[in-house]
């Protein structure tokens, strides 16, 4: 595994400040944990990857705050999903009625 300074030098200039901020967390995690974290992201498990990073940070208050906010976000996502389902059912009913009219107009 490269040391942080070596890795930072390989990055685009705009990512270097972020690498200097978050890089020490990755270094503390170690190479295998970094590879596991990369795999989480590759599999689309962004929430778990973010949680893993927060768990590795020295400020445990961030993890507590994120856990609370993430729970609220998930509840909001569920509410929005339910609202979207209602909208889709209404759209389907409308399109079904319009399809019936269109079919009648073309003699089908």
- In sequence order, what are the residues at sequence separation of 6 or more whose Cβ sits closer than 8 angstroms to the Cβ of residue 49? 37, 40, 41
**CB 69: neighbour CB atoms within 10 A?**
10
Per-residue pLDDT, 66: 85
Looking at the structure, tell me whether residues 68 and 37 fall in a common domain. no
Looking at the structure, tell me whether residues 88 and 106 fall in a common domain. yes
Please tell me the pTM assigned to this model: 0.60
Residue 89: which domain range? 60-108
Looking at the structure, tell me whether residues 4 and 48 fall in a common domain. yes
Per-residue pLDDT, 93: 92
Give pLDDT tens digits along the chain (108 positions): 889 999 999 999 999 999 998 899 999 999 999 999 999 999 999 989 988 988 888 887 888 888 888 889 889 999 999 999 999 999 999 998 889 889 999 988
The alpha carbon of residue 36 and the mean position of all alpha carbons in its chain are separated, in whole angstroms, by: 17
């Amino acid at each position: 595994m490269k040391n942080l300074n070596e890795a930072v030098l390989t990055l685009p200039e705009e990512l270097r400040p972020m690498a200097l901020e978050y890089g020490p967390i990755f270094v503390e995690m170690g190479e295998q944990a970094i590879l596991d974290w990369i795999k989480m992201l590759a599999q689309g498990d962004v929430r778990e990857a973010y949680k893993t990073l927060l768990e590795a940070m020295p400020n445990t208050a961030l993890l507590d705050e994120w856990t609370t906010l993430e729970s609220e976000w998930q509840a909001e996502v569920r509410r929005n999903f339910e609202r979207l389902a209602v909208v889709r059912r209404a759209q389907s009913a409308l399109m079904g009625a319009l399809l019936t009219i269109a079919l009648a107009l073309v003699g089908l």
